[in-house]
Structure 1
Amino acid sequence: MTPGGAGVAQRHPDPVDVLARHLRARATEFLRALRLHRDAATPEDSAEAARALGRAARRIGAGLYTFRPALDPSWSRTLGPELAWVSGTLSQEDACATRLTRLLEALHHLTGPAAPTPPSARRPTPSTSG
């Protein structure tokens, strides 16, 4: 028989291997984003890293939900809520980072260089001679 011929059995990937590769890849994404978050130099970098962490956590949770029949039920039941908590916390951090940026911009605007006071608005200084 020739390769790819009618008598060649098709080999399907083992679902456990597919799941393991998927979860390993998502865990790697999460750990990379965690490192980026730790090393963030600016609030914008921190916010982007938090979004990446949340994305990875949601993807891990979706994988656990999708492959639930193939997983240890007690393990996946405890990990699912933890991932949801992480995602929720990270979304709050993103919202707080956005608010912080707006507040810092407003503060800078308030404390920025003041316009010079026109001479007519200046108070006369009391004369010492008299």
Structure 2
Amino acid sequence: MAPDPQPSALRNDLIDLISLQPAMFHHPGGLILIVDKGYRDRITENWLNETGIDVIRPASRNETPRPGRPLLHAVRQNIESVNQTLKDQLHLERHGGRTPAGAAVRILQRLLAMTAAIWHNWHTGQPVMRSLIAYDH
């Protein structure tokens, strides 16, 4: 059962996603969910832990350091790099879709392009894994 609604729409979306697609969040050995400070409330965190999801998030100022802090910094840097690539090189914020379906298709095209470039760079031993400059014509 999901916790009572929280004031944050992000937390509500997370709870809805996990409630609607629980199989996506269950893996052998448990699941670790890395979140930012927007998900810092005890009710949501307790609910996630009860569903078998361990939460790694930044500690607030009045909190003792939480486990997983080094992992949080490393993963956050990768996420920010990918987001910057999506916004700058793939123009994700200016996708040009006029309907929800059109926006979804254009966003998925960009994600597929970036995934294909990362896969190609990985398998050809390129030194920079997320760069799409060579494909930016």
TM band (smaller chain) = under 0.3
Q: Which has the higher contact order (CA 8 A, sep 6+)?
A: 1
Structure possessing the higher radius of gyration over alpha carbons = 1
Kindly indicate which of the two structures has a greater share of residues assigned to strand: 2
Q: TM-score, normalised by structure 1?
A: 0.27
